[in-house]
């Protein structure tokens, strides 16, 4: 199978490609503009690399022929910057996805699995979030992903394409080179001897899914007949303070934690129901949070010199 992975030089993409190498024989082409990732992240992996923008139809037309399926990870995923400047988020996540879908139509590529989000689309609702809930995004980022899901649905119905939107929960794990999300950010701060900054009281919950488990879910979605929205997480909500306690124990370091006010647009309590994913694609995450954090910490420890931390 020949796969095009947009945004494949990022955190999720590099973990996915590494997992694909373990699980089967695939030809992989990565399209990435290196704005949020780096080809260095996949230098040890067997994947072709094209530097380019998903909004560039000429680039897409050059690399789309012969592709069997697209894994669409390229996106502006930053919640707070989307509030400060929503136009960028709209252009990359909505217009960029539209260009990818149009290129797929031009070259008869019938399958796309795209990265979406759970909590940001649903807003502040009583967890667990699930696919039957009515979306109510609390940030432009969430709105852009909901719009993306709308186009996937429309292209599936109108053009017979198989389009699945995988709603990722909070992903963590090795290869998080430039990742700004909480686990990677905290680990880098601990190595640098800096205090951790928490926005809120630390009681806010997230569904933390290990990158290897998430990658398995993506692969299962590619090879299944599933369409529409599918939640990928663990089904467990973990308070941020619990993450901090585990990192303190794993690192053996007594770091400081500074608490600041909650930030507008961020969901406070969320985790997802993964029963639909279990039923439709056979998704079954099995990496415990403590084990996943240890494996992530060890990866950073092994790559300290390379990462300048």
- Span 124-157, pLDDT tens digits: 889 999 999 999 998 999 999 999 999 999 999 9
Structure tokens of 209?
């899914």
- 2-172+208-233 folds as Rossmann fold (3.40.50)
Looking at residue 128, what is its pLDDT? Answer: 95
For residue 160, what are its two tokens? 């017979």
**pLDDT per residue over 153-186, tens digit each?**
999 999 999 999 999 999 999 999 888 889 999 9
**Among candidate residues 163, 198, 7, 16, the one with its CA nearest the CA of residue 92:** 7
Q: Give residue limits of the domains in the chain.
A: 2-172+208-233
Mean pLDDT (whole number) for 256-264: 93
Band of residue 83 on the pLDDT scale cut at 50, 70, 90: very high
Q: What CA–CA distance (Å, rounded) separates 250 from 99?
A: 44
SS (H, E, C) 159-222: HCCEEEEEEECEEECCCCCCCCCHHHHHHHHHHHCCCEEEECCCCCEECEEEHHHHHHHHHHHH
Point out the catalytic residue in the list 141, 151, 172, 208. Answer: 141
Residue 135 makes CB contacts below 8 A (sequence gap 6+) with 121, 122, 123, 142, 146
Q: How many CA atoms lie within 13 A of 8 on its CB side?
A: 28
Whole-Å CA distances, 43 to 9, 46, 59:
9, 8, 21
- Dihedral class, residue 240 (left if φ above 0, else alpha if ψ from -120 to 50, else beta): alpha
Residue 23's pLDDT band, with cuts at 50, 70 and 90, is confident
Q: Produce one character per residue of 202-238: b if its CB has 16 or more CB atoms within 10 Å, e if not.
A: bebbbbbbbbbbbbbbbbbbbebebbebbbbbbbbbb
User: Residue 309: is its pLDDT beyond 70?
Assistant: no
For residue 159, indicate whether it is catalytic: no
How does strand 238-239 pair with strand 205-206? antiparallel
- Radius of gyration, CA atoms only, the chain: 19
Token code pair at residue 307: 């990462």
């Amino acid at each position: 199978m020949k796969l095009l992975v947009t945004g494949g030089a990022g955190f999720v993409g590099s973990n996915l490609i590494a997992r694909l190498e373990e699980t089967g024989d695939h030809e992989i082409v990565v399209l990435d503009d290196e704005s949020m990732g780096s080809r260095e992240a996949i230098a040890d992996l067997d994947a072709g690399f094209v530097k380019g923008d998903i909004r560039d139809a000429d680039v897409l037309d050059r690399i789309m022929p012969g592709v069997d399926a697209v894994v669409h990870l390229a996106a502006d995923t930053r919640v707070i910057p989307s509030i400060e400047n929503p136009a960028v988020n709209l252009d990359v996540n909505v217009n960029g996805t539209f260009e990818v879908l149009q290129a797929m139509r031009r070259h008869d590529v019938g399958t796309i699995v795209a990265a979406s989000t759970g909590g940001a689309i649903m807003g502040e609702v009583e967890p667990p979030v699930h696919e039957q809930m009515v979306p109510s995004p609390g940030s432009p980022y969430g709105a852009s992903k909901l719009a993306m899901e709308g186009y996937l649905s429309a292209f599936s119905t109108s053009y017979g394409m198989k389009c699945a939107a995988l709603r990722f929960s909070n992903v963590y794990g090795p290869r998080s080179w430039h990742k700004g999300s909480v686990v990677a950010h905290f680990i880098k701060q601990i190595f640098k001897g800096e205090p951790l900054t928490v926005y809120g009281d630390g009681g806010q919950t997230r569904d933390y899914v290990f990158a290897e488990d998430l990658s398995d879910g993506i692969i299962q979605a590619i090879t299944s007949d599933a369409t529409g929205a599918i939640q990928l997480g663990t089904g467990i909500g973990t308070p941020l303070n619990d993450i901090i306690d585990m990192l303190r124990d794993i690192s053996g370091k007594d770091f400081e934690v500074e608490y600041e006010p909650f930030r507008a647009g961020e969901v406070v309590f969320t985790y997802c129901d993964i029963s639909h994913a279990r039923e439709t694609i056979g998704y079954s995450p099995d990496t415990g949070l403590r084990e996943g954090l240890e494996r992530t910490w060890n990866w950073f420890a092994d790559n300290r010199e390379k990462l300048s931390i």
